[in-house]
Structure 1
Amino acid sequence: MAVDPDFLDHVRDLFSGLAPLRMGRMFSGVAVYTEDDVMFAMIAASGTIYMKTDATSQPAYLAAGATPFTYTKAASTQQITSLMSLPDTALDDPEEALSWARLSLPAARAAALEKRRTKARRRK
């Protein structure tokens, strides 16, 4: 199931303060990037927005009622705790959504840096 194009426009509006934004395919959803290759959010096919987290930012997401990204593989449920749902209160509030995005940026930048390093090692 693809992500609704109208919903993608809504997400662009929510995070427009981080412009420029770029969208790309990720699993059956869409990855949301800023700063060229910094993926700070993912939109699942279900329409749920998941934000990049780490040990520093995850407690704030949990306190706001966020849940980790989950998927089923070989009849078992897998959790990706580095992707937490955007709190419902931010879904229609660009200011709040932007605040959560900024909280996610350090984890997203660190993941992008590690990905760049891995690619550089493979090239050698």
Structure 2
Amino acid sequence: MDNAAIEEMFEGLGPVSIRRMFGGKGIYHQGLIIAIDLRDEVMLKADAVSGPEFAEAGASQWAYEGKKGKPVLMPYWTIPDSALDDPDELRKWVVMAFEAALRINRDT
């Protein structure tokens, strides 16, 4: 996804910065990574608090196959389909991603 489209997705949250990383892009707000763009799909950061809400909304968690063939779950989820055409709902999810980033940063 191009940077202008990513910035538009996050307008409801505020300004974001975008940096290239591991074949994709990291999306940051106030210095915290809140999402990634991997293979032209934006995935939002979640944690133990917000992850169940993403799952309930039908989002999928990013996983890759580890060295022993077991899936390794990452803290990023797809954007629920219902939010893709609704700016107000999309704002809810990107704010949740920022809140997860704040909790994760606070706990480390």
Decide: shared fold, TM above 0.5.
Answer: yes
Are residue 78 (structure 1) and residue 72 (structure 2) matched?
yes
**Which among 76, 93, 109 is matched to residue 102 of structure 2?**
109
Give the Cα–Cα distance (whole angstroms) in 2 for the partners of residues 72 and 9 of structure 1: 31
Give the drift of 1:94. Answer: 2.2
CA contact (8 A) 1:15 1:94 kept: no
Give the Cα–Cα distance (whole angstroms) in 2 for the partners of residues 24 and 111 of structure 1: 20
4+ residue runs over 4 A deviation: none
* TM score, norm. by length of structure 1: 0.74
Larger CA Rg, structure 1 vs 2: 1
CA contact (8 A) 1:14 1:93 kept: no
Are residue 40 (structure 1) and residue 45 (structure 2) matched?
no
Are residue 11 (structure 1) and residue 1 (structure 2) matched?
no
Alpha-carbon RMSD across the aligned residues, in angstroms, is 2.0
Give the drift of 1:107. Answer: 1.6
Other structure's SS at 1:19 match: coil
Give the Cα–Cα distance (whole angstroms) in 2 for the partners of residues 33 and 85 of structure 1: 17
* TM score, norm. by length of structure 2: 0.83
Counterpart AA for 1:42: I
- Corresponding residue for 2:15? 20
Give the Cα–Cα distance (whole angstroms) in 1 for the partners of residues 26 and 107 of structure 2: 17
Counterpart AA for 2:102: R
Percent of aligned positions that are identical: 28
Aligned length: 107
Give the Cα–Cα distance (whole angstroms) in 2 for the partners of residues 92 and 43 of structure 1: 18
Give the Cα–Cα distance (whole angstroms) in 2 for the partners of residues 59 and 10 of structure 1: 27
